[in-house]
């Protein structure tokens, strides 16, 4: 097993077929269950082997209820040939503690379900490459130190508890209902579709931004805590033209002492957010800084006085029903609709 506790692999040579079988070429290992095993104290780093080692091609595989502790990696899948595939693999309710590299590292082509696992290290879910992506997979209700996703499309990341997350490459990724306890770096939402109902605590200079390809459509219902305090830093920064449909930033609670939202895109709705600034901090004030056109800014509430800034040249924005003051730069108030703000 190359130092792994359990190895599940498919090979295409040296196979015996019974007379009543139709040969499967290439052979794909399928319909296997690995459950309730103790696969601990196997190979240590820098080896790439693990407690449970899955080697493509595979399909319809369940890995459930195993303990894979005290080694380089807990559970991982690998490709020895890019033409092979891994589909419909479920990694559920496993424990991977005291690992040196990844707790769970799954490369797949589609329908990988990673649910209810616990590790004190990283859970990674990826595709093989940008051209060989992982489609329609789910990361749900896991507990880990770090959550990494790459080359995934239509991925759902829901209900996980982690210290940090790192979405890298992909498309239409949804982060819903996660708890992120100590995010010390920027979360790039450029390839994320929804970022809703998460609890995020930023440490250091961590923030949300969309400085790359702009796919984000919803940042709603989150509780965002940020300890960073400066006049030049924003918790959310959006760039590039959102286009239809509207980018919604709604129903969030921001507990922070820096500028909150800065945007350059059109068609943005910023509504019913709560800005909890701490008056004891050195800086608070500008909650929304608008460089775009066609925004709707309504119903936002601040715990202390705050401002909404409309930058020079902006037009066709609607700003109404907020309890903050509206400041226009170089006559921009004349080109926007402003009413019933305090």
pLDDT at 282 over 60: no
pLDDT at 205 over 60: yes
Tens of pLDDT, residues 100-130: 889 999 999 999 999 999 999 999 999 988 8
Using CA atoms, how far residue 292 sits from 159, 283, 318, in Å, is 33, 25, 12
* pLDDT score, position 224: 94
pLDDT at 159 over 80: yes
Using CA atoms, how far residue 154 sits from 126, 134, 149, 169, 173, in Å, is 12, 9, 12, 12, 5
More confident of the two residues 266 and 92: 92
Token pair for 172:
């239409």
* pLDDT score, position 23: 75
Top-ranked range on mean pLDDT: pick from 119-123, 264-268, 313-317:
119-123
Average pLDDT for residues 151-177, to the nearest whole number?
94
Of 293, 175, 304, nearest in space to 243 by CA: 293
Average pLDDT for residues 190-211, to the nearest whole number?
87
Cβ 316 vs Cβ 291: under 8 Å: no
pLDDT at 153 over 90: yes
* pLDDT score, position 124: 96
List strand residue ranges (DSSP E) for 93-186, in order: 95-96, 102-107, 110-115, 118-119, 122-126, 134-135, 138-140, 146-150, 152-153, 156-158, 161-162, 164-167, 170-171, 173-176, 179-183
Strand partners for 236: 208, 261
Q: pLDDT band at residue 179, thresholds of 50, 70 and 90?
A: very high
- Residues with Cβ within 8 Å of 131's Cβ and at least 6 positions away in sequence, in order, are none
Tens of pLDDT, residues 11-64: 777 777 888 888 777 788 889 999 999 999 987 766 677 999 999 999 999 999
Q: What is the DSSP letter of 327?
A: E
In angstroms, rounded to a whole number, what is the distance separating the alpha carbons of residues 124 and 108?
Answer: 11
Q: Strands 234-238 and 337-339: what pairing?
A: unpaired
* pLDDT score, position 243: 54
Helix (H) or strand (E) holding 61: strand 58-64
């Amino acid at each position: 097993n190359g130092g792994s506790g359990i190895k599940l692999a498919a090979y295409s040579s040296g196979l015996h077929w019974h007379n009543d079988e139709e040969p499967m070429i290439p052979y794909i290992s399928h319909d296997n269950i690995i459950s309730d095993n103790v696969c601990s104290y196997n190979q240590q780093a820098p080896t790439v082997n693990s407690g449970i080692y899955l080697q493509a091609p595979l399909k319809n595989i369940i890995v459930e209820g195993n303990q894979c502790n005290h080694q380089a990696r807990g559970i991982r899948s690998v490709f020895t040939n890019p033409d092979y595939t891994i589909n419909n693999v479920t990694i559920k309710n496993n424990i991977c503690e005291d690992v040196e590299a990844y707790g769970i590292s799954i490369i797949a082509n589609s329908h990988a379900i990673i649910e209810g696992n616990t590790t004190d290290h990283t859970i990674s879910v990826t595709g093989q490459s940008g051209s060989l992506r992982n489609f329609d997979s789910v990361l749900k209700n896991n507990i880990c130190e770090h959550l990494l996703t790459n080359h995934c499309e239509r991925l759902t990341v829901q209900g996980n508890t982690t210290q940090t997350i790192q979405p890298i490459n992909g498309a239409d990724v949804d982060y819903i209902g996660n708890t992120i306890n100590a995010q010390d770096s920027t979360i790039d939402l450029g390839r994320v579709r929804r970022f809703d109902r998460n609890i995020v605590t930023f440490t250091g200079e961590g923030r949300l931004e969309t400085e790359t390809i702009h796919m984000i459509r919803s940042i709603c219902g989150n509780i965002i805590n940020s300890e960073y305090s400066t006049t030049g830093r924003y918790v959310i920064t959006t760039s590039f033209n959102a286009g239809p449909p509207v980018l919604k930033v709604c129903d969030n609670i921001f507990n922070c002492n820096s500028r909150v939202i800065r945007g350059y895109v059109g068609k943005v709705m910023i509504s019913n957010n709560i800005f909890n600034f701490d008056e004891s901090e050195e800086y608070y004030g500008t909650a929304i800084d608008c460089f775009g056109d066609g925004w709707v800014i309504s119903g936002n509430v601040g715990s202390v006085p705050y401002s909404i800034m409309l930058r020079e040249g902006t037009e066709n924005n609607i700003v109404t029903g907020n309890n903050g003051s509206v400041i226009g730069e170089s006559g921009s108030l004349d080109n926007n609709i402003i009413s019933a703000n305090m």
